[in-house]
Amino acid sequence: MSVSPGRSAGGTAVADRSPSPEAVPSLSITGLRKSFPGRTVLAGLDLRIPARGLVAVLGANGSGKSTALRCVVGLEQPDGGSIRLHGEEIVGLSGRELARRRSRAAMIFQKIHLVQRRSVLDNVCAGALGRLPLRHSLVPALFPRELRDEAMECLHRVGLADRAGDTVGRLSGGQQQRVAVARALCQRADVVLADEPVAALDPAAATQVLELLSDLARGQGLAVAAVLHQPELARRYADRVVGLARGRLAFDTAPEHLSERDLDDLYAAGEGAS
What's the number of CA atoms in the CB half-sphere (13 Å) around residue 6?
7
Provide the 3-class DSSP secondary structure of residue 13.
Answer: strand
Q: Give me the pLDDT at residue 271, please.
A: 53
Amino acid identity, position 58: L
DSSP character at residue 166: S
In this prediction, residue 274 has a pLDDT band, given cuts at 50, 70 and 90, of very low
* Residue 7, pLDDT above cutoff 50: no
198 touches 210 (CB < 8 A): yes
In this prediction, residue 183 has a pLDDT band, given cuts at 50, 70 and 90, of very high
Nearest to 54 by CA among 220, 271, 257: 220
Q: Give me the pLDDT at residue 139, please.
A: 59
pLDDT in tens, 221-251: 999 999 999 999 999 999 999 999 999 999 9
Q: What are the beta bridge partners of residue 162? A: none
24 touches 88 (CB < 8 A): no
Nearest to 85 by CA among 56, 43, 132, 51: 51
Nearest-angstrom CA–CA distance, 164 and 143: 14
* Residue 61, pLDDT above cutoff 80: yes
Nearest to 207 by CA among 246, 177, 243: 177
Per the prediction, the chain carries an average pLDDT of 86
What percent of the chain is predicted at pLDDT more than 90? Answer: 71
pLDDT in tens, 112-139: 889 999 999 999 998 988 776 655 555 5
Q: What are the beta bridge partners of residue 241? A: 56, 253
Q: How far is CA 199 from CA 31, 53, 175, 204, 234, in A?
A: 28, 21, 14, 12, 13
Nearest-angstrom CA–CA distance, 5 and 8: 8
In this prediction, residue 67 has a pLDDT band, given cuts at 50, 70 and 90, of very high
Least confident of 20-24, 105-109, 133-137: 20-24
Q: What dotted CATH number matches 24-104+192-274?
A: 3.40.50.300
What percent of the chain is predicted at pLDDT more than 70? Answer: 86
Nearest-angstrom CA–CA distance, 138 and 134: 7
Maximum Cα interatomic distance, the chain, rounded to a whole number of Å:
58
Amino acid identity, position 21: P
Domains of the chain, residue spans: 24-104+192-274, 112-189
**Sign of the alpha-carbon dihedral angle for 10, 12, 13, 16:** negative
Q: Give me the pLDDT at residue 24, please.
A: 58
Nearest to 122 by CA among 159, 58, 88, 169: 169
In this prediction, residue 8 has a pLDDT band, given cuts at 50, 70 and 90, of very low
Q: Give me the pLDDT at residue 133, please.
A: 61
